[in-house]
Amino acid sequence: MKVAVVQFPGSNADWDALHAVRDVLGADAWYAFHKEHSVGDADAVVIPGGFSYGDYLRAGAIAGFSPIVSSIREFAGRGGPVLGICNGFQILTEMGLLPGALTRNAHLRFECRDIHLRVETEGPFTDMGKGTILRLPIAHADGRYHTTEDGLAELERNDQVAFRYTTPTGDPPNGSDANPNGSVSDIAGVYNREKNVLGMMPHPERASEGILGNEQGLTLFTSLRRHLGFE
């Protein structure tokens, strides 16, 4: 499996993604610099976390105009799997590849800690099964997912909600800080309609090794590998 990890100016979890995919999973992975015009012969693309262009203007807003973006758009257009993590999720919504928007956390602070998620639908990155509870870390200031009522209905209708925040036992947050940022409908990640593009605020690539105390994030990448037929 070949994976391009896109490097925007200000990407800072690019190493985390490369390490998880290349060194832990064993895939052939490389950095695709934002000034390049191609993601090469990648089987999948990861847009990592960070503060692309300093998150000036809006998180992810300027990255949407980098040279590499048209090749990501083209890759996604022909069904190639794309995973946007944290700032990568923000970039995918700014690019229009995913619906909705990410706004400032409800409590207005950056928040870094472990949270729990329920897998809401199966897809290339989520073959672990609907209802699976995952513990993953978050680290963001702008992770509050927002969409209109109609947008939400459409997400539900098309089964695009990938993850929802839950309590450790898998119950809905019900207004508690189990939803760490005030996201609408407790949404932590969404697929596009075709389900080849996934954006999520939690960091699976930072929870993919025993030494870090958590390997649950690796299940997204092994799911991708199976989806692509590499095992």
Partner 1 sequence: MSRPANFPGEPDSSPEIAREFGLAQHEWDRILSTLSRAPSYAELGVISVMWSEHCSYKSSRVHLARLPTTGPQVVQGPGENAGAVDIGDGFCAVFKMESHNHPSYIEPYQGAATGVGGILRDVFTMGARPVASLNSLRFGRPEHPKTPHLLKGVVAGIGGYGNCIGVPTVGGEVQFDASYDGNILVNAFTVGIAKTDDLFFGVAEGVGNPIIYVGAKTGRDGIHGATMASAEFGEETDSKLPTVQVGDPFMEKLLLEACLEIFATDCLSGVQDMGAAGLTSSSVEMADRAGNGIELDLDAIPRRTKALSPYEMLLSESQERMLMVAKEGREQEVFELCAKWDLDASIVGRVTDTGRFVCKATPGYDPFDGTGKPDPIVVVDLPVDLLTNAAPKYDRPQQERAETASLVSMAGDAPDDLGDELVRLIGSPNIGSRSWIWRQYDHIVRDGTVIRPGEGDAAVIRVFCDDADGTREKFLAISADCNGRHVELDPFAGAAMAVAECTRNVVCVGAKPLGLTDCLNFGNPEVPEQMWRFARAIDGLAAACTALDAPVVSGNVSLYNETDGKAILPTPTVAVVGQLEDPEHRLGLGFSNEGDLIAHLGRPSRGVLGGSEWLVQRTGSVTGAPVGIDLDAEAALQRAVLDLARAKLLSSAHDVSDGGFAVCLAEACIAHRHGAKVSLPSNEDAPAHALMFSEEPSRIIVSLSPGHLGEVEEICQRHGVPFEKLGIVTGQSLVIEGVCDVSIAALEKSHSTALDAIVS
- The residue ranges that bind partner 1 (CB under 8 A) are 9-10, 12-13, 15-16, 19-20, 23, 35, 49-51, 53-56, 109-113, 137, 139, 141, 203, 205-206, 209, 211-213
Instruction: State the catalytic residue, choosing from 34, 94, 116, 205.
Output: 205
Q: Regarding beta strands 2-7 and 44-47, do their DSSP bridges make them parallel or antiparallel, or are they unpaired?
A: parallel
CB of 115 to partner 1, least distance (A): 11
Active-site residue, 112 included: no
The least distance separating partner 1 from the CB of residue 204, rounded to whole angstroms, comes to 11
Residue 180 Cβ, how far from partner 1 at the closest point, in Å? 9
Please report, as a single letter, which amino acid is at residue 105. Answer: N
Catalytic residue among 86, 94, 116, 120: 86
Q: Which is nearer to partner 1, 15 or 30 (CB)?
A: 15
Q: How far is the CB of 146 from partner 1 (least distance, A)?
A: 22
DSSP string over 60-106 = TTTGGGSTTHHHHHHHHHTT--EEEETHHHHHHHHHTSSSSEEE--T
Q: Which of 19, 34, 140, 203 is catalytic?
A: 203
Catalytic site includes residue 203? yes
Told to judge if 215 belongs to the known catalytic residues of this protein, a careful annotator would answer no
Q: Report CA Rg, the chain.
A: 16
CA-CA-CA-CA dihedral for 124, 206, 17, 46, to nearest 10: 30
Quick one: three-class SS letters along 130-157?
CCCEEEEEEEECCCEEECCHHHHHHHHH
The count of other CB atoms within 10 Å of the CB of residue 96 is 10
State the Cα–Cα distance between residues 178 and 187, nearest whole angstrom. 12
| Closer residue to partner 1 in complex, CB, 23/74 | 23
Which of 70/110 has CB closer to partner 1? 110
Q: Which is nearer to partner 1, 129 or 213 (CB)?
A: 213
What residues are labeled active site?
86, 203, 205
